[in-house]
Structure 1
Amino acid sequence: MTVLHHHAEGSSSAPPLLLGPSLGTSLALWDGVATELSSAHRVVRWDLPGHGGSGAELVRAGATVADLAGLVLALADAQGIARFGYAGVSLGGAVGLHLAVHHPDRVDRLAVLCSAARFGEPEPWRRRAALVREEGTGAVAESAPSRWFTPEFDGACVPRLVQDNRDADAAAYAACCDALAAFDLRERLAEIRVPTLVVAGREDPATPPERAREIADGVPRAELVELAGASHLAVAERPDAVTGLLRAHFGRVAGAGTAMRREVLGDAHVDRAQERQTPFTARFQDFISRYAWGEIWTDPTLTRRERSMVTLTALVAHGHLDELAMHVRAALRGGLTAGEIGAVLQQCAVYVGVPAANSAFAVARQVLESEGGS
């Protein structure tokens, strides 16, 4: 089966984050957000069938949100992604809700933006589907800005997104309307167990804030944020605000990394690092917490002692003596004895070089003496 058209950015080893669009838009909807998110995630944004670069043949009349969710899972499988974070707008948000209910083993965090557990009565969606099948997507593209944005918003993204709506395949667009007409997940929201963020545009006429509150009230421990000065496509109208919310929500997986960093290096060191953090260094510190401490040091394949030995060797090899002192202390905290640390440095003398080991012994001796070792 042909997969949905998509665009991936960010490190392939970073935590995966899938981004879903709203009806009538393409993956360009996420232009103001995706690049920033890709600094810490493997971001994969996708097009609905018949939208952007996705083939219209991927969906048929009478489609359901379950059908669209199946296409997203096929995309994830094709990308080698077993479990992922997911954020979606409107219809894309409905796909996320469906995945969290019906495929809880695939979704680890969820963000639902300007969406609903039920998009009103089915009949208006059926009428829109009939209109588009008869007259094409131009019949709804002209009125899109009034549904999508606040009246005063005139951002550069508006013409592009309206053109995406106009260019969408009529039959595929109508099939997506069929999916919205049939969608109703209100009675199953309590089954969602993943951490969930719900975002509403306070001036959204398509999915008003009360629809977001219904999701937040139904999903256990969900968080709700209402954005002032935002309509249905808040992700395009308020990209900085949405970026901040998504980074905070999906970035909480870094909490395990921070905990491990404190456990290995000690609270005092981590506190000093956080106190010295500036806006310039914040993303780097976030990277360290996520990748080095949240991914590598928490991997159970090697024991803490073994990781300390490997780390000491690597630091000696590259002459990072300041870091070496810190990790000698960490090795002691992790259970290595002074004798074992000395044996590691002795090994370095053979495979790294005597001068490097000599400098490393001097650093380690100072640390051991300060820590009361021998």
Structure 2
Amino acid sequence: MTDKPLNHRAEGPTTAPPLLLGPSLGTSYALWDKVAPELSVAHRVVRWDLPGHGGSAADLIGPGATVGDLAGLVLALADSLGIERFAYAGVSLGGAVGLHLAVHHPDRLSSLAVICSSAHFNGSRPWEERAALVRREGLAELAKSADSRWFTPGFTVPELVADHRDADPGAYAACCDALAAFDLRDRLSEITAPTLLVAGREDPATPPAHLREIADAVPGSSLTELAGASHLAPAERPEAVLAALRGHFGGHASRGMEVRRQVLGDTHVDRAQARQTPFTARFQDFISRYAWGEIWTDPTLTRRERSMITLTALVAHGHYDELAMHVRAARRNGLTPEEIGAVLLQTAVYCGVPAANSAFAAAQRVLAEEDGSQDSPA
């Protein structure tokens, strides 16, 4: 055994809330390549490698290792970085480490996300057999089936498959020993950290039923199932995983969604969320994170002032559908019809009378709906 800490990569401001990310068996911290940089906008993200994987030393664990041993290495890493309390997300074996931390070290965990993982891994025998196979023959043959175990048909991440092939066989087998011995089903009700479960609907290794079992047992937890995702969801569906983690761990996106609802109303936001697709998910996240999570939350200007600026900008560019939405928002932010009219009159001077005329028409329709006024503009 060595005192060297787990190999890791830290991203994001050192003053931001810490978030540790754990990998799946056979992968490195590259599993998080499409998620970690975005999470680091609002968190100090630390992703780590399992022993014998990526850059972590193989002799950090040995035969008969347990998930508790791996959790101890994660705590030692956190200690070495001066991190006392942290949020945690992990995939598969990394998720099992998170569950162990939540049960045995609740004082260290502020919140938890368990992704494509389980409170047990279908008994000890399959893992004992795999450990024996790897100790005897190495990882080359097992790595050939990685795609079918990890991804939906036709999808692959060559770098992760290479990580599987290049892992240290002894350390990999020790991780199999840990999975063989792991079963926390009778302790799940003790978990107090806010917990999110994320399942891949096409995951053959830890099917959604495994995540539902945890969700049913952990008080106050929530479950998200991802279509089109197999076992390594952060690599295959990074946008969906990112949105789920942002919503759970907080930061600009969750605060932004709260402000977005306050200003635009639940009906509008719910409609926008219902129309969201994998193609538009990243754009919706962008809006919540930057427009609503950073700009609209800046205390330099009041919401009334921001509404007036927004109305002017929308008139200037002729975005009259958006203008109608923001007339409603302006009313929620406390502007009277007279103040809205004064803003639009100002646009007549600087944006042109035709633009202002169209703007008055759009605004009048909204005000008529809300206030019962029947007058129409010129």
- Verify same fold: TM over 0.5: yes
Alignment of 1:312-351 (within 5 A): none
Distance 1:253 1:104 in 2: 25
Match of 2:159, as an amino acid?
R
Query: Conserved in 1, the CA contact under 8 Å of 2:21 and 2:45?
Result: yes
Distance 2:99 2:89 in 1: 10
Distance 1:50 1:289 in 2: 46
Deviation string, structure 1 residues 216-244 (Cα, Å, up to 9, x no partner): 11111111111111111111110111011
Distance 1:148 1:58 in 2: 25
Distance 2:285 2:215 in 1: 32
Q: Which residue does the alignment assign to 2:117?
A: 115
Query: Conserved in 2, the CA contact under 8 Å of 1:47 and 1:53?
Result: yes
Q: Name the CA shift for 1:33/1:253 in 2 (closer, same or farther; >3 Å).
A: closer
Q: Helix, strand or coil for the counterpart of 1:32?
A: coil
Q: Which residue does the alignment assign to 1:222?
A: 221
Distance 2:93 2:217 in 1: 18
Q: Name the CA shift for 1:255/1:51 in 2 (closer, same or farther; >3 Å).
A: closer
Of the candidates 19, 31, 34, which is equivalent to residue 32 of structure 1? 34
Q: Which residue does the alignment assign to 1:283?
A: 289
Distance 2:99 2:252 in 1: 20
Alignment of 1:184-223 (within 5 A): 184-223=183-222
1:134 to 2:136 alignment: yes
Match of 1:283, as an amino acid?
R
Q: Name the CA shift for 1:227/1:279 in 2 (closer, same or farther; >3 Å).
A: closer
Q: Name the CA shift for 1:72/1:287 in 2 (closer, same or farther; >3 Å).
A: farther
Q: Helix, strand or coil for the counterpart of 2:245?
A: helix
Deviation at 1:281, TM superposition (A): 6.0
Query: Conserved in 2, the CA contact under 8 Å of 1:40 and 1:287?
Result: no
Q: Helix, strand or coil for the counterpart of 1:108?
A: strand
Distance 2:162 2:213 in 1: 32
Match of 2:182, as an amino acid?
F
Deviation at 1:252, TM superposition (A): 6.7
Query: Conserved in 1, the CA contact under 8 Å of 2:256 and 2:294?
Result: no
Query: Conserved in 2, the CA contact under 8 Å of 1:254 and 1:289?
Result: no
Query: Conserved in 1, the CA contact under 8 Å of 2:201 and 2:226?
Result: yes
Matched pairs, number: 287
Query: Conserved in 1, the CA contact under 8 Å of 2:189 and 2:217?
Result: yes
Distance 1:255 1:234 in 2: 21
Deviation at 1:13, TM superposition (A): 0.7
Q: Which residue does the alignment assign to 2:238?
A: 239
Q: Helix, strand or coil for the counterpart of 2:19?
A: strand
Match of 1:170, as an amino acid?
P
Q: Helix, strand or coil for the counterpart of 1:204?
A: coil
Q: Which residue does the alignment assign to 1:10?
A: 12
Deviation string, structure 1 residues 2-43 (Cα, Å, up to 9, x no partner): 100000001111111000000000000000100111111110
Distance 2:113 2:295 in 1: 24
TM-score when scaled to structure 2? 0.70
Q: Name the CA shift for 1:253/1:35 in 2 (closer, same or farther; >3 Å).
A: closer
Q: Which residue does the alignment assign to 1:41?
A: 43
For the aligned residues, what is the CA RMSD?
Answer: 3.0
List 4+ stretches of structure 1 deviating above 3 A: 252-259, 278-282, 287-290
Stretches of structure 2 that go unaligned for 5 or more consecutive residues are 269-283, 306-378
Distance 2:215 2:190 in 1: 13
Distance 1:219 1:279 in 2: 28
Match of 2:170, as an amino acid?
A
Q: Identity, % of aligned pairs? A: 66
Query: Conserved in 2, the CA contact under 8 Å of 1:131 and 1:139?
Result: no
Query: Conserved in 1, the CA contact under 8 Å of 2:42 and 2:251?
Result: no
Match of 2:49, as an amino acid?
D
Q: Helix, strand or coil for the counterpart of 1:52?
A: coil
Q: Which residue does the alignment assign to 2:148?
A: 146
Q: Helix, strand or coil for the counterpart of 1:212?
A: helix
